[in-house]
Chains A and B, each alone.
Chain A
Amino acid sequence: MATSAATKSGKRISGKDAWYPPAKRDRFIIQQLVSKDFKLRYRRSVLGVAWSVLNPLLMMIVMSAVFSTFMRYADDSIGCYPLYLILGNTAFQLMSDATSQGLTSIIGAASLLKKVKINRYVFPVQKVFSAAVNYVFSLIAIFIVMLFFQIPLTPLALLLPVALGLLVVFSIGLSLLLSALAVFFRDVIHLWSVVLTAWTYATPLFYPASILPHWMQVFEAFNPIYLYVTFIRDILLWQTLPTASLVVRCAIWAVASLALGYVVFHRHEHKFILYI
């Protein structure tokens, strides 16, 4: 931190080196944009950041009240139903927040992209990180639930970053793909919210997989979001080591999504400016 008077001469020197090398630039931009999202999210709310914790917690209380009494989903194969619920919901929320925000990120950054030269991928990627930051806060809610129901936290929890990392990579791929599509076809914006709703119900988030008919259970073995949710439930709820097959499928989905997203985005990004 320099004082204003002293730097008048010093400025001339550093003014030449004001810029980051291109590789470092994007990181700082993403960091600034994520922090902007975060600040704006809870500005002017009394509880502020606490909502990131309270929201999933309250959601879980409502849903577990509804589903365990009316629908009687809580069966023994699940274990602690509230924890089962919150783990599924928060992970799905991460993906759905990331993609629905990422979807409009290029269109939303139109005024910026027309003014300054920025690598376009930072916008969809940044939205995924914003969602991930939010997820980290909901982890606090998860740990509160675990404490309340006295579910032990085992060393298996150390695998959580792996699960999250894969989920984030998967979301980045989707986000890149969708943001590029949305530039050319705004229909995608409307379509995606329907897809997300369908996906919520098609995934055993609040009901046990065992109530599904056989063909649906086969389908779930390839439902990426269910795979990530199962990974997280394995390590936090059921305290079993996820099977190698599960981890491999999670990784394949992440890589495939990223590759597809990257290719589509990269191939069309130079045309974005003409359509936004």
Chain B
Amino acid sequence: MADNKLPDDIAVRVDDVSMIFNIASEQFNSLKEYFIAIMKHELSFKEFRALNHITFDVHKGEAFGLVGTNGSGKSTMLKIIAGVLEASEGTCTVNGTIAPLIELGAGFDPELTAQENIYLNGALLGYSKEFIDQEFDNIVEFAELKDFMEMPLKNYSSGMVARIAFAIATITDPDILIVDETLSVGDFLFQQKCEKRINELVQNDNTTVLLVSHSIDLVERICSRVLWIEKGQQRMLGPVDEVCQAYRNLK
């Protein structure tokens, strides 16, 4: 999250980003194998470009969509923006705080109680202790798990875990919200609740939303501009109807 003097109206700037994974022809898990391979000059890597020279800006307050078929590099792009991965080439600059709804429940420990997990997960997301103290009741209320707070997480159903994770992740008021199709969890009532909360954030003018989804309908409903990535290549960038139209025609 290094701010290289980004203009005020830009939330995310992705500048000529490429992501290259070295797929080792063999996986070396031991020193011996590694040195033998060096000796034999077999240490060759196959390059795999998950992203190839992607460039785009996301403006402040806009809802931006990323579409593409499976394995096209959407999630890799999101992980670079969220700061989990470092781009091999190019730069990605982010202006503001991020709430990543990419993979929820980071660091949840099944042996700890829900209450302990809320603090642990909150800390890992960078929240302050005072903030978690203050919002604790709200998180519990949103997750609808008031009576189960002292129970170890391993006794929870996966839906219950997802509810807590979502509640923690969305309790803040981020500058940038990254959503990666995480809503397919929980019962339908909770799903509605999640969509409502995301919509609240989307409608908020100050929040920039980055949405990745296979559902074009959802993208069309929420986003104003869309980037289409295909096999790591930037295919199209533009207003939502144009890009979605073209993407539909592919199918």
Taking a contact as CB atoms closer than 8 A, the residue among B29, B31, B84, B126 that contacts A114 in the complex is B84
Are B84 and A117 neighbours in the complex by a CB distance under 8 Å?
yes
Most central of B22, B137, B140 by chain A CB within 10 Å: B137
Q: Taking CB as reference atom, which chain A residue is nearest B140?
A: A4
Tell me if B120 counts as interface (CB < 8 A to partner A): yes
Contact with A along B146-160 (1 / 0, CB 8 A): 000000000000000
Q: Tell me whether A19 is interfacial, beta carbon within 8 Å.
A: yes
Nearest Cβ on chain A to B113's Cβ, whole angstroms? 9
The A interface is mostly helix, strand or loop, or mixed, namely helix
What separation, in Å, do the CA atoms of A273 and B112 have in the docked complex?
26
Interface pair A18/B112, CB less than 8 Å apart:
no
B30 touches A273 (CB 8 A): no
Chain A: how many interface residues by the 8 Å CB criterion?
41
| A115 B102 Cβ-Cβ under 8 A | yes
Residues of B within 8 A of A4 (CB): 137-138, 140-141
Known contacts A113-B84, A116-B124, A185 near B112 by CB under 8 Å: no
Tell me the minimal C-beta distance from B147 to chain A in angstroms.
Answer: 14
Q: Are A3 and B137 in contact (CB under 8 A)?
A: yes
Contact B133 A36 (CB under 8 A): no
Residue B190 is within 8 A (CB to CB) of chain A in the complex: no
Contact of A214 with B by CB under 8 A: no
Residue A29 is within 8 A (CB to CB) of chain B in the complex: yes
Q: Are the CB atoms of B173 and A16 closer together than 8 Å?
A: yes
Complex contacts, A29 vs chain B, CB 8 Å: 123-124
The reply on A24 being an interface residue by CB < 8 A is yes
Residues of chain A within 8 A (CB-CB) of B30 are: 185-187
Instruction: Tell me which residues across on chain B come within 8 A of A32, comparing CB atoms.
Output: 119-120, 123-124
Which A residues touch B56, using CB under 8 A?
none
Q: Is B116 an interface residue (CB 8 A)?
A: yes
Chain A minimum-CB-distance residue to B127:
A18
Residue B109 interfacial (CB < 8 Å): yes
Residues of A within 8 A of B128 (CB): 17-20, 24, 28
Q: Contact flags (1/0) for A199-235 with B, using CB distance below 8 Å?
A: 0000000000000000000000000000000000000
| Contact A7 B138, beta carbon cutoff 8 Å | yes
CB-based contact A28/B84 at 8 Å: no
Contact status A15-B172, CB under 8 Å: yes
- Chain A residues in the interface with B (C-beta under 8 A): 1-4, 7-8, 11-12, 14-20, 22, 24-25, 28-29, 31-33, 36, 39-40, 43, 111-118, 185-187, 270, 273-274
